[in-house]
Structure 1
Amino acid sequence: MGTLVEPALLLLLWQSVWALDIPLEVRQPPTIIKQSMKEHIVDPKDTMVIECEAKGNPHPIFSWRRNGKYFNVARDSQASMRRRSGTLDIYAKNNPEQYEAEYQCIASNEYGSAYSNKIRLQLYRAPVWPREILEPVVVSAGLPLVLSCDPPPGPPKPETYWMSSSFPTMQAVRPDRRVSMGVNGDLYFSNVLINDSVADYCCNARFPYKNVIQQKMPVVVKVLTSEYYSVRPRTVAEAAPTWLSPTGSSSSILVLQGEELLLECIAAGMPTPRITWTKDGEDLAVTSRMKVKNFNKMIQIPKASFDDVGEYTCAATNRLGYIEHTITVKVKAAPFWLEKPTDLILAPEENGRLVCRSDGAPRPTISWSINGEPIETADPQPNRQVSGDTLIFRSVSASNTAVYQCNASNQFGYLLANAFVNVLHATPRILGPRNELTKVIEGSHALLDCRYFGSPVPELRW
């Protein structure tokens, strides 16, 4: 349960927030207010747009880096920047592949430079399945069968499903204990029956970026039966369980916190094996965070957490045998914020600090930059000190005005935050409309906003 915030504390929180709402007419370093996603997919047939917007006073000027080097937009005939904006428009009629790169936007004015995330531009390529003639798959009744899908690669990763066709109808392959589609998109038969040869099978891939569906060439399955089987159609050679996916007796999965975790065990055998699960030697406790799917052959955890770490053992059983497979699950975490640095407005001789607190697995390393330059190589300032995840300022002066970047990174990702320190004298002022009339219903709550600004932070009285 969440905790209730006392009104007095709530008022202090409002005061803290409003005090940082610096009006744009006051001189201030740049602030990035809009940028493209870190993983940015574009269609090269359209205008490729990489967004970057910033505010500041004076209004910022913009520049770009591509793969870590200065990108001279003015000299590129296929690229341009929008007026009073850093947003890039790329009209790549010739050789669009040259623009597949990592971009970073820089917004600068006389008081500092703010940096966007590193934006990886990826080109969307229309998926094309190779036109191939697939030979019929011949298999004896009772044996296992795997039909591969192998869809064209993304980005982004396609969603796959299987259809079966028996002229003139086509319908989705319905999974059951014997037939299932694996995580990799392949179609698995724990054992084949004569009825499996009445239809062709084709894999379909849906690509979410353009919602395009591509269909693989269908494959014909021919199920052979012996003379004995022809006489007694219900008799098929029985077989003990063996693993189709995953293979062997053990495997491991590494998943990032918050991402989807899929555990899958598909077995061959005749009769069709039954699948059961244990975790760390005990029966698997199915919680509200997980779903058991595909007739017990799959465990889906939409958002993995560190509670999901452990050894999951799936067992396949029929009357001829019993096998196990152990999946070791490890959960790591890309950096995430515990406390993100926020803009700091100080009057001369005041003290202040920027806090950059994050966590992850492994624990992220913290590095600081000033206007994009590593703090270790920037001009030293005796009143500025790095202490772990905190940047401390004492008795500030105008020379401390800048945009400070905090980078928290580990092997699975990074976080980048800009926070400016603005040292100035500013007389107290009320922000927003004057003489505003607020109408409320008798007996209900009323909230009166008093947004203000000043440096040093003014004392608010009603």
Structure 2
Amino acid sequence: MSGKRYWTPWMRKRRAPVVFALGAVLLFCLQSGASPTDEVPLFTEEPQSVVQKLGGSVTLPCSARPASVKVSWRLNGEPLANGDLGVVVGPSSLFIPALSNLTLGRYQCVASTGAGALASVPANVTAAKLRDFEPDDQQEIEVDEGNTAVIECHLPESQPKAQVRYSVKQEWLETSKGNYLIMPSGNLQIANATQEDEGPYKCAAYNPVTQEVKTSTSTDRLRIRRSTSEAARIIYPPAQRSIMVTKGQRLVLECVASGIPTPQVTWTKDDHDLRSHNNTHFLLSNLLIDAVDEGDSGVYICKAGNIINFDSPATVRYDVHVYEPPQVTVELQQQEVVHGSTVRFTCDARGKPTPSVMWLHNARPLSPSVRHRLTSNKLRVSNVGPQDEGLYQCMVENGVGSAQAFARLITVSTGISSRGRLPSIYRPLSPDKVLREQPPIKPGASGAMLPLDCSEITGQLVPAEAPIILSQPRTGKADHYDLIWRPRHEHTPPVLEYVIKYKKVGDVLADWTSRSISGSLQKLTLAKLQPDSLYEVEMTAKNCAGLGQPAMMTFRTGKGRKGINGGQIDPPKTAVPSPSLSPPEAPDKPTVSTATETSAYVTWIPRGNRGFPIQSFRVEYKKVKRAGEDWVTAGGEHSPVEALCGNHRPGERYVL
């Protein structure tokens, strides 16, 4: 790759890459000059999934702001207007008077303004049903007197989940009563069973929506036996179980033992005793956790023993997996880019199981094309033009739930004439201006700060150059860092503001912290940092033409030394030397992913390079263990973060 390929926006604006990330909640704060029709739509209520019987009515709420927003509906991806299939579309809801097979499916509402369109999370409308019980043989259940008996009920398929009922002594029990406990699994546990509890037991399933009741085809019979001694054994569950539970739900692990004398039951999780664990409690010998979280995943062992088998107790294992609804995090300000540029969106989705990702542009699904490259969590749009403006949305689902996040893209022509003035809608307010809007400022002749009117700037406007970062890559301060910089050139259009982002390196859960400060400042203290930690910084200058290329760096905080009174002792201050141009550092975190059978994408993170923009990257590769094999330089023009290596042979191994 030739050293003449400069990737700086002030020299080759049409190739300036823009990288930004998506997340769960995004609020754009626009200046007061923006038209209400150009405000970004925001959902205040989204539809929820519903189970209803055929013929029943369904109401799906959906509301958004601003007041001028237009709300429409889709069914299975197709537009659904008022009166179609008998539905009634209101200003804040959709009403189905009588549910039929034609109106079952996946609903989404779409909120539209002049800024673009957003789709809500999907809501599934499902028909309630209750299947028949599968044929089953009668079970003879034996338990030692004074122990707990278990009657299992294999409930049939049902939407929603069926409620269980038991026939006990010619009476139907719908809830627990006395020593009869109806468990969430549908099992009936009989505590301290005696001869009076012997006899037939039958279960039934009740659908709370259709109000149907269906009875099992078989009857189980309980027999109580009397023994002088019996080794402890576990009668439920009969074998190892794997349990999936959603975060926040109650978890009940059943363990029923029998023996004479009555067995002692204990629980462990990942080999740790749970008797003194804070968030667990017990019902008889069953383990209960009221609201599970990620830390409750693991291997649970129930042990049951008495004096006969105290040294070799009976055990049963549960593998518990806590599932999490998806979450999407946002780290983004409104983006404005020049026609012909390439923009990149990143969707940071979390959840268990791993969520699937769908990209939408103005509420319409995107498909791969020459200009649109989609991966599991990234979207790249090349050669952008006016047709690419609007709202880009990341919709994620994982079977447990769904979530969505969005970002707005605005495109501007390559140059802005001296007579032209950026519309106020192109200028998002920075966080420190949300409560009190102030105009851009410029130094006056007398040192006073005067309002800056972008229309006063003459000549062709180009985005601001990356600032030069003067700070050293290491500090003795344990909890803060002084970031110092200067503009790259003094005699250029004034910088309106600096946008600074920083986060801890290596912490996958860490979010970017963003600050926007006046363009007249050249120092910012980054506070509340962690000792002896590596941080990365991205810093961008903004002028009347928009944001420029970021300057990037990494720094490490000090370990800190304790003083007499326990306080931190700061090292002596040293003068900050002027930066000098030197060869760049090696890129960080190179990653290879398959593009096609014969090509691969290589991505990386540029190092700080003392604030000097890196002009180009060269990527080379060759086959592994092939004598005389020459290095091959990847072709094409590489962006600052990725390259495509092609013409590979399937099955071959390569070194990068």
Match of 1:25 in 2: 36
Compared CA separation, residues 419 and 146, structure 1 to 2 (3 A):
same
For residue 304 of structure 1, the aligned residue among 292, 300, 312 is 292
Please report how far the alpha carbon of residue 32 of structure 1 lies from its aligned counterpart in structure 2 after TM superposition.
3.6
Q: Is the 8 A contact 2:28 2:334 kept in 1?
A: no
Residues of 2 paired with 1:362 and 1:21: CA distance?
Answer: 43
Matched, 1:90 2:96: yes
Compared CA separation, residues 91 and 427, structure 1 to 2 (3 A):
closer
Using the size of structure 2 for normalisation, the TM-score is: 0.47
Matched, 1:287 2:277: yes
Match of 1:4 in 2: none
For residue 317 of structure 1, the aligned residue among 305, 310, 332 is 305
Compared CA separation, residues 348 and 55, structure 1 to 2 (3 A):
farther
For residue 113 of structure 1, the aligned residue among 117, 123, 126 is 117
Residues of 1 paired with 2:337 and 2:379: CA distance?
Answer: 17
Match of 2:466 in 1: none
Compared CA separation, residues 29 and 400, structure 1 to 2 (3 A):
farther
For residue 107 of structure 2, the aligned residue among 103, 106, 120 is 103
Matched, 1:188 2:189: yes
Match of 2:126 in 1: 122
* CA offset digits 1:396-422 (Å, max 9, x no partner): 975553121113455655422234345
Residues of 2 paired with 1:52 and 1:195: CA distance?
Answer: 56
User: SS in structure 1 opposite 2:359?
Assistant: strand
* CA offset digits 1:273-294 (Å, max 9, x no partner): 2211123334236332222x22
User: SS in structure 2 opposite 1:185?
Assistant: coil
Amino acid at match of 2:51: I
Q: Is the 8 A contact 1:30 1:57 kept in 2?
A: no
Match of 2:88 in 1: 80
Amino acid at match of 1:280: D
Residues of 1 paired with 2:97 and 2:52: CA distance?
Answer: 12
Larger CA Rg, structure 1 vs 2: 2
Match of 2:478 in 1: none
Matched, 1:420 2:408: yes
Residues of 2 paired with 1:21 and 1:302: CA distance?
Answer: 48
Please report how far the alpha carbon of residue 247 of structure 1 lies from its aligned counterpart in structure 2 after TM superposition.
0.9
Match of 1:358 in 2: 349
User: SS in structure 2 opposite 1:299?
Assistant: strand
Match of 1:48 in 2: 58
Aligned residues: 396
Amino acid at match of 1:196: D
Amino acid at match of 1:420: R
User: SS in structure 2 opposite 1:304?
Assistant: coil
* CA offset digits 1:301-340 (Å, max 9, x no partner): 2333333333222111234433111223334444223x23
Amino acid at match of 2:117: S
Provide the alpha-carbon RMSD of the alignment: 5.4
User: SS in structure 1 opposite 2:36?
Assistant: coil
Matched, 1:407 2:405: no
Residues of 2 paired with 1:180 and 1:392: CA distance?
Answer: 57
Compared CA separation, residues 163 and 341, structure 1 to 2 (3 A):
farther
Match of 2:579 in 1: none
Please report how far the alpha carbon of residue 380 of structure 1 lies from its aligned counterpart in structure 2 after TM superposition.
3.7
Residues of 1 paired with 2:101 and 2:44: CA distance?
Answer: 29
Compared CA separation, residues 274 and 21, structure 1 to 2 (3 A):
farther
Match of 1:276 in 2: 266
Q: Is the 8 A contact 1:141 1:236 kept in 2?
A: no
Matched, 1:267 2:257: yes
Q: Is the 8 A contact 1:341 1:419 kept in 2?
A: no
Please report how far the alpha carbon of residue 119 of structure 1 lies from its aligned counterpart in structure 2 after TM superposition.
0.9
Q: Is the 8 A contact 2:244 2:323 kept in 1?
A: yes
Q: Is the 8 A contact 2:47 2:108 kept in 1?
A: no
Moved more, 315-324 or 343-352: 343-352
Pairing of 1:308-457 with structure 2 (within 5 A): 308-321=296-309, 322-337=313-328, 339-340=329-330, 344=334, 356-361=347-352, 363-364=354-355, 366-377=357-368, 380=371, 399-410=387-398, 413-421=401-409, 425-426=423-424, 450=435
* CA offset digits 1:375-434 (Å, max 9, x no partner): 5547849xxx989967789999755531211134556554222343457713899xxxxx
* CA offset digits 1:196-246 (Å, max 9, x no partner): 25x997869887779x897979x8978688xxxxxxxxx646433332221
Q: Is the 8 A contact 1:263 1:298 kept in 2?
A: yes
* CA offset digits 1:159-204 (Å, max 9, x no partner): 657696699x9995334xxx7544422223477422325x997869
Compared CA separation, residues 274 and 207, structure 1 to 2 (3 A):
farther
Residues of 1 paired with 2:68 and 2:175: CA distance?
Answer: 63
Amino acid at match of 1:194: Q
Pairing of 1:58-73 with structure 2 (within 5 A): 59-60=69-70, 62-66=72-76, 68=77, 70-73=78-81
User: SS in structure 2 opposite 1:316?
Assistant: strand
Residues of 2 paired with 1:186 and 1:35: CA distance?
Answer: 36
Q: Is the 8 A contact 1:347 1:425 kept in 2?
A: no
Q: Which runs of 5+ in 2 are unaligned?
A: 1-26, 412-421, 428-433, 441-453, 455-495, 498-515, 519-656
Match of 1:36 in 2: 47
Compared CA separation, residues 104 and 454, structure 1 to 2 (3 A):
farther
Amino acid at match of 1:425: P
Amino acid at match of 2:38: R
Match of 1:10 in 2: none
Identity of aligned residues (%): 21
* CA offset digits 1:234-268 (Å, max 9, x no partner): x64643333222113x3333334444333221123
User: SS in structure 1 opposite 2:196?
Assistant: helix
Compared CA separation, residues 190 and 208, structure 1 to 2 (3 A):
same
Compared CA separation, residues 141 and 452, structure 1 to 2 (3 A):
closer
Residues of 1 paired with 2:170 and 2:51: CA distance?
Answer: 38
Compared CA separation, residues 452 and 19, structure 1 to 2 (3 A):
farther
Residues of 1 paired with 2:252 and 2:57: CA distance?
Answer: 37
Match of 1:439 in 2: none
Q: Is the 8 A contact 2:202 2:220 kept in 1?
A: no
Residues of 2 paired with 1:284 and 1:22: CA distance?
Answer: 61
Compared CA separation, residues 97 and 64, structure 1 to 2 (3 A):
same
Q: Is the 8 A contact 1:341 1:418 kept in 2?
A: no
Residues of 2 paired with 1:454 and 1:223: CA distance?
Answer: 85
Amino acid at match of 1:294: L
User: SS in structure 2 opposite 1:307?
Assistant: helix
Residues of 1 paired with 2:342 and 2:143: CA distance?
Answer: 80
Residues of 1 paired with 2:30 and 2:74: CA distance?
Answer: 32
Compared CA separation, residues 164 and 243, structure 1 to 2 (3 A):
same
Match of 1:6 in 2: none
Q: Is the 8 A contact 1:343 1:421 kept in 2?
A: no
User: SS in structure 1 opposite 2:279?
Assistant: coil
Please report how far the alpha carbon of residue 48 of structure 1 lies from its aligned counterpart in structure 2 after TM superposition.
1.3
Residues of 1 paired with 2:128 and 2:33: CA distance?
Answer: 41
Q: Is the 8 A contact 1:332 1:361 kept in 2?
A: yes
Match of 2:565 in 1: none
